[in-house]
Amino acid sequence: MIIVSGCLVGLKCRFDGKYKVSKEFMDLMPKGIFIPVCPEQLGGLPTPRIPCWIEDGDGYDVLFKKSRVVNQKGEDLTEFFKKGAKETAKIANFLGINVAVFKEKSPSCGVNFIYHGDKLVKGCGVTTALLIKMGIHVLDEKSFIQSFTSSLY
């Protein structure tokens, strides 16, 4: 089984109350390989919610208390993001999952890129950082689809 960002498989959990579904992921859903999660909802944030970003550095810096997650109003939401990461980690532990596929550019789920305000920078989100620390292999959605498709041939 694979943990997947809920917004990739049709859950309307994004900050704007929408999803970012991809056909490839929806085609794989009936195979029963995905466990959909939304770390931000698991952390207690409402949907829709005000857009958030990691202030400096990346998800590791948030975990190590060197940075914060803030929203557009400047409110500190760091604890919600840490809680969402821990709850997602719990699900992975319960089910013995060692692979996750996450939505790129999110302050929780970003794998290679996140935002600092409106600037796209290299780095991972808070949940991604925690899962990688636990030894879970985390892929962004495009890499997953590429490797999954090539494994079929």
Enumerate binding residues for ligand SF4 (CB under 6 A): 5-7, 13-14, 38-40, 103, 106, 108-109
* Least Cβ distance, residue 107 to ligand SF4 (angstroms): 8
Nearer to ligand SF4 (CB atom), residue 23 or residue 152:
23
Helices vs strands, H then E, count in the chain: 6, 8
Going by C-beta distance under 8 Å and a sequence separation of 6 or more, which residues neighbour residue 114? 53, 54, 58, 59, 105, 106, 107, 120, 121, 123, 124, 125
Nearer to ligand SF4 (CB atom), residue 124 or residue 152:
124
**CA 77 to CA 59: how far, in whole Å?**
13
* Least Cβ distance, residue 125 to ligand SF4 (angstroms): 8
* Least Cβ distance, residue 40 to ligand SF4 (angstroms): 4
